[in-house]
Amino acid sequence: MLRGTLRNEGFCSAWNILVQLGCTDDSYLMENVNQMTNRDFINSFLPYDKEMMLEAKLADRFNLSADGPEMQKLKWSGLFEKQHIGLEKGTPAQLLEHILNKKWNLQPNDKDMVVMWHRFVYEIENEKREIQSNIAAIGDDSIHTAMAKGVGLPIAITAKIFLQGKISQRGVCIPVEREVYEPVLKELMSLGIHAQEKETVIK
């Protein structure tokens, strides 16, 4: 089974830089956070150099082009700015989240979109077949997002039917039993979240 996520060019490689630097570490508290700027935060993960600028050190360490997609995304996210982070304390991950939220937050009139495509190839009775399943959902606004609905509604519906006594399973379960997935999928369809499926024979 292969699973992938489509991102804009440079997103994954830029995020990988933050991971390799240690910016996503959530295991310890950083020092002098109340005096730290966004630029200081990134610089704290790089060796001190009195001559090289932050951007040059970063590009040199990860072999990046100064105007490449990774550097552009890091710059756009505000990570090179001399703006105070605005927290009294925090782990690297918490500081990074606080910085990114200023740019990554949806604006009041923004709507997100979730697109999923699943392709299953299988063989039955010596015949090779393929099923393609597609889902596209658009959020209502910046609060009631498609991502929030796609993640939250299945859990909420499952909790409801469990409390109604319609689920006999107990303990930690995955939703592969009919008594779970059938009512959940039915209610999701009534809420406008459903897959379009197409099955074909592969010749």
Give the pLDDT score at 1.
Answer: 62
Residues of the chain with pLDDT under 70: 1
Contact 18, 97 (CB under 8 A): no
Q: What angle do CA 91, 95, 96 make, to 5 degrees?
A: 115
Give the pLDDT score at 115.
Answer: 92
Give the model confidence (pLDDT) of 84-124 as tens digits: 999 999 999 999 999 999 998 999 999 999 999 999 999 99
Give the pLDDT score at 7.
Answer: 81
pTM of the predicted protein model: 0.72
Chain centroid to CA 8? 13
134-158: b or e for each residue (b if 16 or more CB lie within 10 Å)? ebebebeeeeebbeebbeeebeebb
